[in-house]
Structure 1
Amino acid sequence: MHRNLAIKLAVVALLIMLLMIPILMIDGMIGERQSLRDDVLQDIARSSSYQQKITGPLLVVPYRKTVREWKTNDKTGVRYQEEREYRGRLYFLPDRFALSGDATTELRARGIYQARLYESNNQVSGHFQLPAHYGITENVADYRFEQAFLAVGISDIRGIRNDLKLRLGEKEYGFEPGTSEQLLGDGVHAPLPVLPADSEQTLDFAFDLQLQGTGQLDVTPVGRESVVDLKADWPHPSFIGEYLPNTREIRNDGFTAHWRTSFFATNMQEALDACVAQNDCSSFQNRHFGVSFIDPVDQYLKSDRAIKYALLFIALTFAGFFLFEVLKRLAVHPVQYGLVGLSLALFYLLLLSLSEHMAFGLAYALAASGCVTLIGFYVSHVLRSWTRGAGFTAGLAALYAMLYALLNAEDYALLMGSLLVFGLLASVMVLTRKLDWYGIGKPSVAPQPE
């Protein structure tokens, strides 16, 4: 290969490496703006309510137990019996737990940033199957059961939007602030009427809970059988937690999801017993499921995805210039390579800044159109032909269109990216299949006159 051409290729490679400096700076700016956005979202949630988690209801029965202990008088050696009283609590999970929730979402803005809040109208119902004497089988006379209460853990009680009333049969009882139970954390509790303890009983309960939150709603399946139905007007749900929905339907106007679990799948009773006996509630508190209302592919993630293809875009553009040089015998100066490369890098800065003020699709269209128009106008003069410039511009516009489709793919991004790279490589190989690479850079021999 001609020595000058080899030097030029080395210079072009150096330009590509230098152009990665502004690309990396823009990439860092994306991370900074995303971090700033997250801080603003936290401030909005701090002013309204954070993500919500519903745990319960849990039936709690406080009791006093009289224990008789034999002791010996140190001076006389006489043994005597002393009574001591211990306090404790019995905990019962519902045999059936059902929650039906209908959520609506809305945007709250602060400056140029927006947070997605939801308000969920939930109907909670079920029943407890309580054994005689609450399951105490020995020395029942030593126990005195106090007023029981129903406790419901709600991670951020500021999000409660209605006056909670517990329905037991045909009667209603008011909830009070706080769960009065450390293992549930924040929430509410409802003191219950005096319950007969000498026989088995079924305690049916129901209450309505209007709950506001930000970003995420979790439910703990506390029942021996738990049935949860959620629906919302959000078309991009992300189902999270220990259990996926048994059935789900996602539409353009929202989603519906159905969960059904049992004690065999959740082992909640053992987790609760470990929490009470060993003061280790991590297993009990982590067994939950729910839905996230956060856009899975926001503008910052899309911008970050786009900039990962910057090196490919620059390399392909420079490869196009190189093909014109070797196929059409044109000379493109390294400075011209550099200016076009800077235009490609500027696209990502425009995309980032525009997407913060408008829909990502419109921002992408404006940024891509501006860069393609600028590069097309410049390249037409560099290649000394409007026809060549139009062809180069059309190819660049097609690349941007394929990149946009790639950015919007949530599950097929890797597949589409691989096919794009393979197709571009195949195109270069087809265009250069008859090129004499050993003859590149050699001066052409003019035909001799006869």
Structure 2
Amino acid sequence: MNRSLAIKLGLIALLIILLMIPILMIDGMIEERQGLRDEVLQDIARSSSYSQTLTGPLLVVPFRKTVREWKTNDKTGLRYLEESEQRGRLYFLPDRFVLGGDVSTHLRARGIYQARLFESSNRISGHFELPAHFGVDENFSDYRFEQAFLAVGISDIRGIRNDLKLELNGERIGFEPGTGEQRLGDGVRAPLPTRADDKPQRLEFAFDLMLQGTGQLNVTPVGRESVVDLKANWPHPSFIGEYLPNSRDISAAGFTAHWQTSFFATNLEEALGDCVSRDDCSAFQGRHFGVSFVDPVDQYLKSDRAMKYALLFIALTFAGFFLFEVLKRLAVHPVQYGLVGLSLALFYLLLLSLSEHMSFALAYGLAASACVLLIGFYVSHVLHSWLRGAGFTAGLAALYAMLYALLNAEDYALLMGSLLVFALLASVMVLTRKLDWYGIKPTVTPAA
């Protein structure tokens, strides 16, 4: 390889390194804009309601218990019986818990940013099987039970959109603010007319809950048997939490999902026991499932993924220029390499700015078209031929089309990318298979 060719390759490599400076600056701008967007979304959620987690209903029975203990008088040595009162609570999970939810989503904008809020219309029903004397067998007479209540934990009570009424064995009871139980956090409660009885009791309950939130809707399967059915007009659900749906159907019009669990799968009764006895509620509070209504791949994530191919794009374009030099005996100045490289970098800035105001597909098409036409017009003059320029432009347009396919094929992106690079390398090897690299001499006729 002669000296001039080595110098040219070195200059091209240096240009590629220098072009990474604007590429990295644009990448930083993507992170900055994404951070600003996230702050706006948080602000919108702060003004309306955050993600929602529904825990309950849980039946709580406060009690006072008389405790008797023999003690000895230090002065007289006589024994006496001392009575004291101990307070506590009994907790019951429903034997059956059913939730049917119909969710609709809508956008709320602030400036150029939009947050997706959801409104869920839920029907919650089921029943409790209470044992005789609330399960207290020994020394029942020492217990004095206070009014029981039904507690429902709702992570952000600002999202409640209706006047809650509990239907209990045919009676209607109004809910009150607050769960009355710190382990459930925020929520509502309803006082129950039930009393300790010599016979087991069955409490049938139902209520309607209209709930607004942002981002996610989670449900804790509190029942011995829990059945949850959700349907929504959101076509891109992301199912989250400890349990995936037993069945689901996703279409362009929305989705439906069905969950069914039991205590054997959730072990929630033991988790509640640990929460009460050891004050360790992490397992009880963490065993939920639900759906996320956040766009799984937004314009910033797609732009960031496109940036990962910037170096490959610049290297392939410069390789195309270099092939024209050695195959067609044309001289392309390093400044011309640099201008084309800057045009390629400008594509990512155009893509970022346009995607904030329109769909990503349209923004990508406009940005790619602008850059392809600009580079095609310039290259036609650099290569002294509209035919060569048209061929170069067609190749560049094909690269942008392949990049768009890579961005939309998450599962096959690595496979498609590796096949693309292999095909391009094979093309270069085929085109230069008869080229005498030692015989390449400096080109004296400049290309523009």
Normalising by the smaller structure, the TM-score range is: over 0.9
Q: Percent identity?
A: 82
> Which moves more between the two structures, 332-341 or 398-407?
398-407
Query: Could you tell me which amino acid in structure 1 is paired with residue 249 of structure 2?
Result: E
1:283-338 per-residue CA deviation (whole Å, 9 max, x = no partner) reads: 11010111000111100000000010000000000000011011111111111000
Q: Which residue of 2 aligns with 1:447?
A: none
Please give the root-mean-square deviation of Cα atoms over the aligned residues, in Å: 1.2
Instruction: Give the Å deviation of 1:133.
Output: 1.1
Instruction: Give the Å deviation of 1:443.
Output: 8.1
Q: Which residue of 1 aligns with 2:364?
A: 364
Segments of 5+ residues of structure 2 without an aligned counterpart are none
SS in 2 for 1:87: strand
Matched, 1:201 2:201: yes
Matched, 1:124 2:124: yes
Q: Which residue of 2 aligns with 1:425?
A: 425
Is the alpha carbon distance of 1:47 and 1:443 closer, same or farther for their aligned partners in structure 2, counting shifts above 3 Å?
closer
Find the aligned partners of 2:84 and 2:67 in 1 and give their Cα distance.
5
Q: Which residue of 2 aligns with 1:89?
A: 89
Q: TM-score, normalised by structure 1?
A: 0.97
Check the 8 A contact 1:297/1:410 in 2, yes or no. Answer: no
Check the 8 A contact 1:150/1:192 in 2, yes or no. Answer: yes
Matched, 1:385 2:376: no
Q: Which residue of 2 aligns with 1:40?
A: 40
SS in 1 for 2:123: strand
Q: Which residue of 1 aligns with 2:323?
A: 323
Q: Which residue of 1 aligns with 2:437?
A: 437
Find the aligned partners of 1:241 and 1:146 in 2 and give their Cα distance.
36
Check the 8 A contact 1:51/1:216 in 2, yes or no. Answer: yes
Is the alpha carbon distance of 1:205 and 1:443 closer, same or farther for their aligned partners in structure 2, counting shifts above 3 Å?
closer
Find the aligned partners of 2:155 and 2:83 in 1 and give their Cα distance.
41
Segments of 5+ residues of structure 1 without an aligned counterpart are 445-450
Where do 4+ consecutive residues of structure 1 move more than 6 Å? none
Find the aligned partners of 1:216 and 1:314 in 2 and give their Cα distance.
40
Q: Which residue of 2 aligns with 1:170?
A: 170
Matched, 1:222 2:215: no
Check the 8 A contact 1:168/1:203 in 2, yes or no. Answer: yes
1:87-113 per-residue CA deviation (whole Å, 9 max, x = no partner) reads: 100001111111111100000000000
Query: Could you tell me which amino acid in structure 2 is paired with residue 348 of structure 1?
Result: Y
Matched, 1:395 2:395: yes
Check the 8 A contact 1:133/1:198 in 2, yes or no. Answer: yes
Check the 8 A contact 2:175/2:189 in 1, yes or no. Answer: yes
Aligned residues: 444
Aligned pairs for 1:152-167 (under 5 A) are 152-167=152-167
Check the 8 A contact 2:160/2:211 in 1, yes or no. Answer: yes
Find the aligned partners of 2:312 and 2:99 in 1 and give their Cα distance.
50
Query: Could you tell me which amino acid in structure 1 is paired with residue 159 of structure 2?
Result: G
Q: Which residue of 2 aligns with 1:340?
A: 340
Find the aligned partners of 1:305 and 1:418 in 2 and give their Cα distance.
16
1:371-411 per-residue CA deviation (whole Å, 9 max, x = no partner) reads: 11110000001111000000000110111111112112233
Query: Could you tell me which amino acid in structure 2 is paired with residue 9 of structure 1?
Result: L
Query: Could you tell me which amino acid in structure 1 is paired with residue 19 of structure 2?
Result: L
Check the 8 A contact 1:93/1:223 in 2, yes or no. Answer: yes
Q: Which residue of 2 aligns with 1:235?
A: 235
> Which moves more between the two structures, 412-421 or 110-119?
412-421
Check the 8 A contact 1:297/1:408 in 2, yes or no. Answer: no
Q: Which residue of 2 aligns with 1:102?
A: 102
Check the 8 A contact 2:65/2:86 in 1, yes or no. Answer: yes
Q: Which residue of 2 aligns with 1:406?
A: 406
Check the 8 A contact 1:64/1:87 in 2, yes or no. Answer: yes
Check the 8 A contact 2:117/2:215 in 1, yes or no. Answer: yes
Find the aligned partners of 2:267 and 2:399 in 1 and give their Cα distance.
53
Instruction: Give the Å deviation of 1:197.
Output: 2.4
Q: TM-score, normalised by structure 2?
A: 0.97
Instruction: Give the Å deviation of 1:79.
Output: 1.2
Check the 8 A contact 1:148/1:191 in 2, yes or no. Answer: yes
Q: Which residue of 2 aligns with 1:137?
A: 137
Find the aligned partners of 2:237 and 2:127 in 1 and give their Cα distance.
30
Find the aligned partners of 1:75 and 1:247 in 2 and give their Cα distance.
73
Q: Which residue of 1 aligns with 2:179?
A: 179
Find the aligned partners of 1:382 and 1:362 in 2 and give their Cα distance.
30
Instruction: Give the Å deviation of 1:41.
Output: 0.1
Find the aligned partners of 2:40 and 2:69 in 1 and give their Cα distance.
61
> Which moves more between the two structures, 77-86 or 434-443?
434-443
